[in-house]
Amino acid sequence: MPSTPPTAANVADKANAVLSDFPYIARRIEQQKIIASVTATWPDPPAPLIYWLWVAGDPTLSGAAPARQELASLELILVALHHLQVVGGSWPSRVAKLYPPKGHAGKDHVTEFRSAQFELLLAFQLFREDVTIIMQGDGGPPACDLIIESRGTKIAANEAYAPQKDIDDWYQRSVLMPWRGLIGAPEPEPAAPAGPEPMRDIFLDPAAVPLALSNILTDGNFPGQKARQLASGDGPTLLAIRAYSLTSRLENLLTIESAQALAAAISEEAWDRLPKQCAGLLLCFTPDILGAGGHLMFLPAPGRSPDEDLKNYLTNIQAMA
């Protein structure tokens, strides 16, 4: 921990000092923009990218090495996007969301950042030899985020979804409160509890993951947004869901026995909400660091059978993820 609380000028200076270590990241952000963003957001935590740069530049912080790993991963993503024929299409729109917005960079930006980061990491996770991933643009008619092509032939369209379970509580506990401790800001007066604090269940809940997946599909917003995207275009579609943050307790992921058992535990009502051309769910154990492994699990929708090309592709990505 720093010996003296950091100031806005100190955070911006250290972030800018580290920026030169990552030339591809630096291409898209000027030092003055870092200063302006920190100043506009202060005393709240800076945007995630600036936060990583600042932490990486302060060896007294225990998170310096992990922050540098995150930056190195983003640098590698940018290098690959520019020089390798792996991911095409509208990837610049996702990269832009990783950079601080004009003005205050609060929780909404963090949420957008996490979603864009997942889409980019997922695109590389879905890549295989003879396969190209095309990122579709934001806006316009409903369309899935990613198109999976093999030698010019479309295999499937993939809609990506990164759940933000309890994002308000997570942001408060994991970002805002530790940050206030770092800068020496006074803690707000805690709200009076409405009742006795519920006991934390220390046991794993095998029903938590299928219930969370069922809730995603039966959510009131699903028909107006995700369902329309999954029903767009021609050919089969997939709904890719990031497993982490799916439930409030990460440990519940340990209760998953198999893809077949998990698919069977999802409610019939939930499966019925998927458009007919959607072959099923792709549960993505996607780490935040490019190349750090990960796993993909296909959950087939009942009564639907992927065509041979999609079936072979799904077998390939589950075996090699």
Q: How does 128-152 read in b/e, with b if 16+ C-beta sit within 10 Å? A: beebbbbbbeeeeeebbbbbbbeee
Task: Output the pLDDT for position 10.
Answer: 94
Chain mean position to CA 141: 23
Examine the domain organization and report whether 70 and 111 are in the same domain.
no
Which neighbouring-strand residues pair with 273? Answer: none
Task: Output the pLDDT for position 190.
Answer: 53
The answer to whether 5 touches 184, Cβ cutoff 8 Å, is yes
* CA–CA separation, 13 and 316 (whole Å): 46
Q: Is residue 242 part of a domain?
A: yes
Residue 42 domain boundaries:
1-84
* Number of domains forming the structure of the chain: 2
Examine the domain organization and report whether 9 and 126 are in the same domain.
no
Examine the domain organization and report whether 258 and 173 are in the same domain.
yes
Examine the domain organization and report whether 129 and 49 are in the same domain.
no
Amino acid, res. 53: L
Q: Is residue 11 part of a domain?
A: yes
The answer to whether 143 touches 233, Cβ cutoff 8 Å, is yes
Number of CB atoms found within 10 A of residue 164's CB: 16
Examine the domain organization and report whether 140 and 154 are in the same domain.
yes
Examine the domain organization and report whether 107 and 129 are in the same domain.
yes
Chain mean position to CA 113: 7
Q: Indicate the helix (H) or strand (E) that contains 296.
A: strand 295-300
Q: Indicate the helix (H) or strand (E) that contains 281.
A: strand 278-285
Examine the domain organization and report whether 119 and 262 are in the same domain.
yes
Q: Is residue 187 part of a domain?
A: no
Can you say whether the dihedral through the CA atoms of 132, 229, 118, 12 is positive or negative? Answer: positive
Q: Is residue 195 part of a domain?
A: no
Each residue of 135-178: pLDDT tens digit? 999 877 889 999 999 988 999 999 999 987 678 887 888 888 88
Examine the domain organization and report whether 297 and 315 are in the same domain.
yes
Task: Output the pLDDT for position 197.
Answer: 52
Examine the domain organization and report whether 159 and 286 are in the same domain.
yes
Quick one: CA torsion of 203, 204, 210, 211, rounded to 10 degrees?
20
- Tell which of 84, 114, 131 closes a domain: 84
Can you say whether the dihedral through the CA atoms of 209, 255, 120, 13 is positive or negative? Answer: positive
* CA–CA separation, 275 and 301 (whole Å): 10
Q: Is residue 31 part of a domain?
A: yes
Examine the domain organization and report whether 102 and 44 are in the same domain.
no
Examine the domain organization and report whether 76 and 91 are in the same domain.
no
Examine the domain organization and report whether 103 and 168 are in the same domain.
yes
- Tell which of 33, 52, 84 closes a domain: 84
Q: Is residue 199 part of a domain?
A: no
- Tell which of 84, 117, 152 closes a domain: 84
Using alpha carbons, list the distances in angstroms from residue 288 to 35, 55, 131, 219: 26, 17, 22, 26
Which residues of the chain fall below pLDDT 70?
1-3, 165, 186-202, 320-321
Those residues with Cβ within 8 angstroms of residue 263's Cβ, 6 or more apart along the chain or in another chain:
280, 281, 299, 300, 301, 302
Number of CB atoms found within 10 A of residue 30's CB: 12
Tell me, yes or no, if the pTM score tops 0.85: yes
DSSP state of 97: T
Task: Output the pLDDT for position 233.
Answer: 82
Torsion region of 300: left, alpha or beta (phi above 0 gives left; psi -120 to 50 gives alpha): beta
Q: Is residue 191 part of a domain?
A: no
